[in-house]
Amino acid sequence: MFINSSIRGIKKALFEWEINGGSEKEIYHFFDIGFDNGYFTPILILLIPIVGIFLNKKIGWFLIISYLYYVVMRAIFLNTTGPYDNSFNISLILFGILVFIPFIILMNFSKIHENIYGLEKRNLIWNNIIGTIIGITLNLIII
């Protein structure tokens, strides 16, 4: 989902850069176009769990779990603003819930949180609340 959006964003930024007479000496205009128009936002969002995977500490777990909550909330927020009778919107909501909620459950109920990230089971509910708040905040900032 984000990878396709990232590729499409790079293509759009390249297209606009070439139309505006972009040259290799002025490559920073390519990045200006990409960031000003929001084409590179999916790339930045996709970096959140990737960085979290490589950080085997508490912050890595927060990054991964907040990304998962972000994806679920994004599917719900974007599709509840439109018409409710649209079956495509309902299928996207179900996709977001049915695909990414099991990953959240896996991160919480398996020994991943304890063995890899060093989180105690008794603090897991608070860590999930913080991850949810971060995920919702990302949604509100990006929407």
Listed by start position, the domains of the chain span: 2-39, 47-142
User: Under a CB-based contact definition with an 8 Å cutoff, are residues 131 and 69 in contact?
Assistant: yes
pLDDT greater at residue 49 or residue 22: 49
pLDDT band at 80 (very low <50, low <70, confident <90, very high): low
d(CA 1, CA 98): 15
- Reported as half-sphere exposure (CB side, CA atoms, 13 A), residue 78 has a value of 17
Q: Are 108 and 101 in contact (CB under 8 A)?
A: no
What's the pLDDT at 45? 78
Q: Say whether pLDDT at 132 is over 80.
A: yes
16, 33 in Cβ contact below 8 A?
A: yes
22-31: average pLDDT: 68
